[in-house]
Structure 1
Amino acid sequence: MRFASPLIRLLAAAGMALAGLASAHAGEVPVAVAANFTAPMQKIAAAFEQATGHKAVLSFGATGKFYAQIKNGAPFQVLLSADDTTPARLEQEGQAVQGSRFTYAVGRLVLWSPREGYVDDQGQVLKTGDFTYLAVANPKLAPYGLAAVQTLEKLGLGERLQPRFVTGENIAQTYQFVATGNAQLGFVALSQVMEGGRIAKGSAWQVPEALHDPIRQDAVLLATGKDQPAAIALMKFLRSDAAREVIRAYGYGL
């Protein structure tokens, strides 16, 4: 039987010690993520873990619901909001670290149908289409829903189409209403229907930004994450070129 030399044994032991040290310093960060940002954040989280060893534990939902949960003590350390007002409010109320918030993405709203050629590039289908239901996220909870309502009001179609609304709790549920055929078309996030820089399937009208308030999506370090290395590292990583490349690929502005 051959025995490893003392030098090899020493190097092996040192390697194990370094691996253990890296593992000891790696942590988990609970993150509340706006539903529209599901796909890009899953990719960013994977890149974040590979780059830092930290793991982002993601929860997806409506920004309004996350606000209520955070106020009631939910243990999130970072919030990726679908708006810029909720993080600002959390800062003012002492629930978030002052000066930590920044705009990580600017959302884009689209009117979408899985049916090819149904939604025209001017959105005239809203006036001429024979649809029964129009999916819209709850404007009280989801900024994309508010943008959809503002768009319809600007077009003079708010009162006329409101009886046809199928209201989703968040933008993810709104997308499902359309994707499953429970609504013929709906207002969703561009990121939900974009793949490889184009609309992956169906037909869509990208709503001009002049028709609604800007969908500035801010990230903020919550008070519970103030002294947490993983949370601080994630906030930094969201500004990295790697993260920004993913964000752009899903159709967001920066």
Structure 2
Amino acid sequence: MPYPFAHAARTFVAVGFVFGALQTAQADTVSVAVAANFTAPMQKIAAVFEADTGHKAELSFGATGKFYAQITHGAPFQVLLSADDTTPAKLEREARAVAHSRFTYAVGTLVLWSAQAGIVDAQGDVLKKGNFKHLAIANPKLAPYGAAAMQVMDKLGVTDALQPRLVQGENIAQTFQFVSTGNAQLGFVALSQVMADGKIRSGSAWQVPASLHDPIRQDAVLLAPGKDSAAATALLTYLRGDKARAIIQSYGYSF
């Protein structure tokens, strides 16, 4: 005759298996359009989000302006993590996003950066001296970080002088690539792209004062295709939690 606890153990294992199967069945995938500047932190967040909830975030990275065009043409993204706050607001007004679902998940910081040490000084005076051939910026019509870069140059009174030296990236990721490979000696990029553990990883940089451009408030919004998605709702909730916020701050963003 088997011992009673043996039957209990088998019952516990069976119940655990059923619970695990139900949890797997309830897990879902959310399609997320992510601003290029937020690539590294979002990759980390997606990994812990999946580990903690079972839901998977399918990430696409690019320029906010390009994502807006794709969404208006029917792209089935369920969540947008924008590089600005105007695009999500516009999508809400156009009923392409769920009303009152948007919130600021990060405030970005612009930095003038060179992969080479000694090129960029701590005050950004290199822009006025002009002893460089190419300055990379993201397309200001598509990328909020590019628009901020133009505002900085306007306020410093150097736009006209630097116009012939500008090299435009389609988004901030391509802009960073131009500078990191040396195709441009310096460029305006997101602090998150060059920061690790609270320090600039390499090269030389000037962290641009926030007073020189409009705040780079980056808003998240639930898009119309995601209104009934448990995974989409869970991701937006997760972005406001302690784990996600700690990751976001580690890349130089504020709230």
Name the TM-score, length of structure 1 as normaliser: 0.97
Matching residue's letter, 1:97: V
Alignment partner of 1:88: what SS? helix
Is residue 150 of structure 1 aligned with residue 163 of structure 2?
A: no
Matching residue's letter, 1:20: A
Alignment partner of 1:150: what SS? helix
Matching residue's letter, 2:31: P
Shift of the alpha carbon at 1:126?
1.0
Matching residue's letter, 1:205: W
Is residue 130 of structure 1 aligned with residue 131 of structure 2?
A: yes
Indicate the residue corresponding to 1:111 in structure 2: 112
Shift of the alpha carbon at 1:9?
2.9
Alignment partner of 1:141: what SS? coil
Indicate the residue corresponding to 1:213 in structure 2: 214
Shift of the alpha carbon at 1:89?
0.3
Is residue 53 of structure 1 aligned with residue 54 of structure 2?
A: yes
Shift of the alpha carbon at 1:12?
2.2
Q: How many Å separate the matches in 2 of 1:8 and 1:144?
A: 58
Indicate the residue corresponding to 1:163 in structure 2: 164
Matching residue's letter, 2:32: V
Indicate the residue corresponding to 2:87 in structure 1: 86
Alignment partner of 1:117: what SS? coil
Alignment partner of 1:153: what SS? helix
Shift of the alpha carbon at 1:5?
4.3
Q: How many Å separate the matches in 2 of 1:236 and 1:33?
A: 16
Report the more deviating stretch, 10-19 or 207-216.
Answer: 10-19
CA deviation profile, 1:164-221 (whole Å, cap 9, x unmatched): 0110000000000000010000000000000000101011000111111110000000
In structure 2, the gaps of 5 or more residues are none
Indicate the residue corresponding to 1:63 in structure 2: 64
Indicate the residue corresponding to 2:98 in structure 1: 97
Shift of the alpha carbon at 1:129?
4.1
Shift of the alpha carbon at 1:253?
1.3
Shift of the alpha carbon at 1:118?
1.5
Is residue 39 of structure 1 aligned with residue 40 of structure 2?
A: yes
Alignment partner of 1:166: what SS? strand
Alignment partner of 2:59: what SS? strand
Matching residue's letter, 2:100: G
Shift of the alpha carbon at 1:128?
1.8
Indicate the residue corresponding to 1:30 in structure 2: 31
In structure 1, the gaps of 5 or more residues are none
Q: How many Å separate the matches in 1 of 2:16 and 2:235?
A: 27
Report the more deviating stretch, 31-40 or 13-22.
Answer: 13-22
Q: How many Å separate the matches in 2 of 1:208 and 1:163?
A: 25
Shift of the alpha carbon at 1:13?
1.8
CA deviation profile, 1:208-245 (whole Å, cap 9, x unmatched): 11111110000000011111100000010111011111
Shift of the alpha carbon at 1:103?
0.5
Indicate the residue corresponding to 1:252 in structure 2: 253
Indicate the residue corresponding to 1:173 in structure 2: 174
CA deviation profile, 1:53-85 (whole Å, cap 9, x unmatched): 111111000000000111111111000000000
Provide the aligned length of Structure 1 versus Structure 2. 253
Indicate the residue corresponding to 1:193 in structure 2: 194
